[in-house]
Amino acid sequence: MEDTKTQVLTPSSPSFKKLFSKKPPRSSNLNAHCHICNLQFSSIHKGFECSVCKKGVCKEHILVRTAMTLLPICDDCERSRIKKEIARELAPQYKSLKGDMNWMLKEKEKIKTEITGKYEIISRLEIQMKNNEKTYAQRLENFEKKIEEENEREKTVQNVIESLKNALTESQNSEEQMKRKNEIKAEEIKTHIEEIKEMKESEEKFLNNIDEINKNLRNTIPATKIKSIACSKCYEALKETFKEKYMDALRNEGRESLLASFILKASVKPTEGTKRARIESITRETCKQCLLM
């Protein structure tokens, strides 16, 4: 392989010296200096022509390729030739690598798309999750509110029950009080009835008394009228006899009472027998004309 391909000779190698001793081709119209190192050509520093770029080149920068023919070549051209060769050699590898790379790029693109899709899904899920969280928070809040309301309601109901209980107790108490009051009232009414009974009795007694008095008053005459019905003689005589009573009667003028004792017949009590006798004697003795008889 080495034989068929290029074999590079360094300027110091014996084969190179051999080559140059055989007078390698020299350019007739060489540039005045080496196009690589700028060395001025002279009789000591001879210039050569590159078989590829045809530019002038010094001894240090020229190679001789041993192929079919011996051709001088400058370092630049040799370098680019090697590059090309390497490139040719590596072309299949490069191709396959490029293919691999393209495939990898495609894969990368695919993965990127997938990842983007997944990211989108994730962000969508995140949004959904946030929304769900919000909804659940709202629901929880509502639920808590409802529980609180229920508690409030229960409290209210308990209060109502409590107040109803109180009212019941109160009404029971007041019922009892009413009962007691009624009992007292009944007692009072009883007393009143008894009082009324007593009053009726006493009224009856009183009426009886009045009847009695009226009975007694019958056949009596008021003192004030005596003067008008008696003759002067009888009047004087009566006045004298019942002096005290008569005075009393006058003092109580207008009242049909005391002169009830100025009695002519029935109401004179038996104990007053003497007075009666006197009245009788007076009337008998004094007069048979006046109304006092």
Q: Which residue among 9, 63, 64, 74 contacts Zn ion (CB under 5 A)?
A: 74
Q: φ, ψ for residue 10 (rounded to 5)?
A: -85, 155
Q: How far is the CB of 194 from Zn ion (least distance, A)?
A: 56
For Zn ion, how many residues bind (rule: CB under 5 A)? 16
> In terms of CB distance, is 31 or 252 closer to Zn ion?
31
Q: How far is the CB of 234 from Zn ion (least distance, A)?
A: 4
Question: Judged by CB under 5 A, does residue 290 bind Zn ion?
Answer: yes
Which of left, alpha, beta for 16 (phi over 0: left; psi -120 to 50: alpha)? alpha
Q: Which residue among 53, 71, 217, 291 contacts Zn ion (CB under 5 A)?
A: 53
Q: How far is the CB of 8 from Zn ion (least distance, A)?
A: 14
> In terms of CB distance, is 52 or 70 closer to Zn ion?
52
Question: Judged by CB under 5 A, does residue 238 bind Zn ion?
Answer: no
Q: Is residue 278 a contact partner of residue 241, using CB atoms and an 8 Å limit?
A: yes
Q: How far apart are CA 95 and CA 111, in angstroms?
A: 23
263: which DSSP letter? B
Q: How far apart are CA 87 and CA 73, in angstroms?
A: 19
Question: Judged by CB under 5 A, does residue 231 bind Zn ion?
Answer: yes
234: which DSSP letter? H
Question: Judged by CB under 5 A, does residue 65 bind Zn ion?
Answer: no
Q: How far apart are CA 231 and CA 189, in angstroms?
A: 61
Q: How far is the CB of 26 from Zn ion (least distance, A)?
A: 15
Q: How far apart are CA 74 and CA 61, in angstroms?
A: 6
Q: How far is the CB of 201 from Zn ion (least distance, A)?
A: 47
Residues numbered 28 to 47 that lie near Zn ion (CB under 5 A) are 34, 36-37, 39
Residues in CB range of 25: below 8 A, 6 or more apart: 48, 49, 51, 72
Measured in residues, the chain has a length of 293
Q: How far is the CB of 114 from Zn ion (least distance, A)?
A: 53
Q: Which residue among 64, 226, 234, 249 contacts Zn ion (CB under 5 A)?
A: 234
Q: Where does this chain touch Zn ion (CB under 5 A) — which range of 77-85, 112-120, 173-181, 207-215?
A: 77-85
> In terms of CB distance, is 61 or 65 closer to Zn ion?
61
Q: How far apart are CA 222 and CA 260, in angstroms?
A: 6
**Hey, what amino acid is at 200?**
K
Question: Which residue's beta carbon is nearest to the bound Zn ion?
Answer: 287
Q: Which residue among 30, 52, 71, 291 contacts Zn ion (CB under 5 A)?
A: 52
> In terms of CB distance, is 160 or 293 closer to Zn ion?
293
Residues numbered 78 to 117 that lie near Zn ion (CB under 5 A) are none
Q: Is residue 37 a contact partner of residue 58, using CB atoms and an 8 Å limit?
A: yes
Q: Is residue 90 a contact partner of residue 51, using CB atoms and an 8 Å limit?
A: no
Question: Judged by CB under 5 A, does residue 9 bind Zn ion?
Answer: no
Q: How far apart are CA 124 and CA 219, in angstroms?
A: 135
Compute the half-sphere exposure of residue 79: CA atoms within 13 Å on the CB side of its CA. 6
Q: How far apart are CA 10 and CA 12, in angstroms?
A: 5
Q: Which residue among 24, 48, 49, 50 contacts Zn ion (CB under 5 A)?
A: 50
> In terms of CB distance, is 234 or 263 closer to Zn ion?
234
Site residues (vs Zn ion, CB under 5 A): 34, 36-37, 39, 50, 52-53, 58, 60-61, 74, 77, 231, 234, 287, 290
